[in-house]
Amino acid sequence: MKKAILAIGITIIVMVFFFIFDVNKEVVAYKNLATTSTTSKSYNNLKHLDKLQPLKINDVPILEKINDKYAQLSPPLIIIRFAESNCGSCVEDLLSKIENSLPKHLMQHVLLIPNYQTELYLKEFYKNHELKYPFINLNDQVLKISYDKYNLPYVFVLDDKSRMLNPFLHIKEKPHKTKSSLNRIIEDYFL
C-alpha cells in the first residue's frame, strides 16, 4: 500500500514538473518573439519558408477551395490566420487593427482562415465579435504553415497563384510593427 502511494506521489510530481517545464518553454518562446526584431536572421528565414510553394489543401491550391466557397473574392487576398488556442485578446487586437487600418474598399479582400476544432466555438466567436468577413475554417493538419507553430495570429497576402506573400506575426506588444506591415501590404498590392 505504501509503495502504491509513493509511486502515485512520484508520478504526480513528475507530471507537474513536465507541465511547468512545457508551459515555461512556450512563455520563453513568446517572450523571444516579442523582443526579437522582425529583421533578425531567424525571422527572415521563417518569412521565406511558406512562400516557396503554393498553399494547398489535399493537393488542390487553396485559391480553388476559396473560390468554391466565395466566388466573389479575387486575389490578392489579405488572409488573417488565428487559432482557437491563440490569446483571445491578441486576436481581438489584430482584428481591431485590421478594421482601423484598412480602407473600407479593401475589406472585400479580407478572408479569415481560423483554426478551430469545434465549429460551434468559431460561430460563437463570430457572433460575439460581430465579424462580417468571410471565413474558411482549416485546422493546422489540413493547411500546414510554419507560422502556426508560434501560436500567435498572423496575416499574409494570398496571390493569384495561391502563394503566401508578406507574412507577419501579430504581437500585441508591438502594435507599430503590425501597422507598418499592414501599410506595406496596402502599398504593395492595392495602390
What pLDDT, on a 0 to 100 scale, did the predictor assign at position 76?
92
Q: Residue 130 has which C-alpha cell?
A: 460581430
pTM over 0.75: no
What pLDDT, on a 0 to 100 scale, did the predictor assign at position 163?
84
Q: Residue 63 has which C-alpha cell?
A: 485559391
Q: Residue 80 has which C-alpha cell?
A: 488573417
- With a cut of 50, which residues of the chain have pLDDT below it? 22-52
List phi, psi (to 5°) of 166: 50, 50
What pLDDT, on a 0 to 100 scale, did the predictor assign at position 26?
42
What pLDDT, on a 0 to 100 scale, did the predictor assign at position 54?
64
- What's the pLDDT tens digit per position in 146-168? 888 888 999 999 888 888 889 99
* Structural domains in the chain plus CATH codes: 36-190 (3.40.30.10)
Phi-psi region at 134: left, alpha or beta (left = phi > 0; alpha = psi -120 to 50): beta
